Structure 1
Amino acid sequence: MNAKLVNTISDILSLEIDQDRKTILQPLVDYVQGKVTDGLAININFICTHNSRRSHLSQVWAQIAAAHYKIPRVICYSGGTEETAMFPKIAETFVDQGIEVMKICEGSNPIYALKYDHNTLPIIGFSKKYDSPFNPESNFAAIMTCSQADGGCPFIPGAEKRIPITFEDPKISDNTNQQDQIYSSRSLEIASEMFYVFSQIK
């Protein structure tokens, strides 16, 4: 990992998580721990309405957290109830926090390669529906990262477990002078919770 990302992770690990949030995160801890105990692959699909902001932040930071704590066979995905595009500010936020971002396809729904370490496969980031062929069909946990997706998708086909872990949308800051700060803080908040989850795995 590059120095900027190492520093970001240090900041992430210093953030406090209150007990109410730990209670919300516990079902994901239990899911991951069960898979590790049984020696099985761990597939996690983070879902929000547009697969444009929170689901990407969750996917990428969960993958980095699993690598940080050396939890094997973890593959994180993301999807939406509809396909739009990964919001450009998300890519900028990742870069600012030390993740290498390469746009590998232009268009209305660009495709990004996101690298957190020189010797790892990149995470592929683009907007897609949660049941896209790019995502797993079965044997995965569906993590609902926004209240709209949580309420609108009471059933996710193929999911072994459906877990609501919702976050406030950084979109509220779009076109304001607080945008940089809100996106950065939301990214770190999500990262801290994903790092907490994987820190609990034995």
Structure 2
Amino acid sequence: MPTKKLGVYPELLTSIEKARQLIIPEDRIRVLNPLIEYIQSKIDQGQEINLNFICTHNSRRSQFSQIWAQTAADYFGIPANCYSGGVEITAFNERAVASIKRSGFKVSAKGDANPVYYVFHSDDKEAITAFSKLFNDPINKGSQFAAVITCSHADENCPFIPGTEKRIPVRYEDPKEFDNTSEESAKYDERSLQIASEMFYVFSNVKMPA
């Protein structure tokens, strides 16, 4: 159960419950353990928790990861700051935006070419600000953060990330390959739900001081 009751939107709560029922394979648990250990170490030391989820275009997987990680952190009352970024600027993909809306998030947007989306999981917290940006964009924490790498291209082609304390690969398959197919919506929702499941697993295994 969450340590702090949030007024999570009912449709989103249904998605969270569905995500938490998914079984996470042992090989994925091994991938997630370094992230749990990093967060726990920051709590144990009384330090700020900053996570920057990084993928090449900051358009799909890293956006899903930021949104679900921040939602999970808030759900369990973990004081984490979750960001995202890339090595190229594109846009928060409209298919991914549609998927988080289907999950039950409330979303508003501002702008055209690279819109800024304001993503709400409840009325109790400020919006998660989501748009495509470089990992070192001023909106992100510039030092004392963990770089959580969500795609193989960024992991292999971005060997040095200034300001990071730890680099943690947590790769996900790209739903982009299903764009413009009959499986598009289902595959985006499948990837989003997987990420939700894993981020909720991570934060459910973090222990706050009594």
Which bracket does the TM-score occupy, shorter chain normalised?
over 0.9
Residue 59 (structure 2) aligned to one of 40, 43, 52: 52
Counterpart position of 1:83: 89
For each residue in 1:15-35, what CA deviation from the matched residue of structure 2 results, as whole angstroms up to 9, or x when unmatched? 000111000111100000001
Counterparts of 1:162 and 1:31, CA distance in 2: 10
Aligned to 2:81, what secondary structure does the other structure show?
Answer: strand
Shift of residue 93 of structure 1? 0.7
Counterpart position of 1:183: 188
Q: How does 1:23-172 map to 2 (within 5 A)?
A: 23-72=30-79, 74-103=80-109, 105-172=110-177
- One-letter amino acid of the counterpart of residue 20, structure 1: D
Shift of residue 87 of structure 1? 0.2
Aligned to 1:175, what secondary structure does the other structure show?
Answer: coil
Counterparts of 2:38 and 2:204, CA distance in 1: 14
Shift of residue 133 of structure 1? 1.2
Counterparts of 2:13 and 2:200, CA distance in 1: 13
Shift of residue 110 of structure 1? 0.5
| Match status 1:9 vs 2:24 | no
- One-letter amino acid of the counterpart of residue 84, structure 2: S
For each residue in 1:91-112, what CA deviation from the matched residue of structure 2 results, as whole angstroms up to 9, or x when unmatched? 1111110100001x22210110
Which stretches of structure 1, 4 residues or longer, exceed 4 Å deviation after superposition? none
- Identical-residue share of aligned pairs (%): 48
For each residue in 1:110-154, what CA deviation from the matched residue of structure 2 results, as whole angstroms up to 9, or x when unmatched? 110000010200000100001111111100000010000000011
TM-score, with length taken from structure 2:
0.94
- One-letter amino acid of the counterpart of residue 54, structure 1: R
- One-letter amino acid of the counterpart of residue 96, structure 2: I
Counterparts of 1:118 and 1:135, CA distance in 2: 23
Counterparts of 1:4 and 1:88, CA distance in 2: 20
- One-letter amino acid of the counterpart of residue 71, structure 1: I
Aligned to 2:39, what secondary structure does the other structure show?
Answer: helix
Worse-matched range after superposition: 35-44 or 139-148: 35-44
Aligned to 2:85, what secondary structure does the other structure show?
Answer: strand
For each residue in 1:49-89, what CA deviation from the matched residue of structure 2 results, as whole angstroms up to 9, or x when unmatched? 000000000000000111111112x1100000111100011
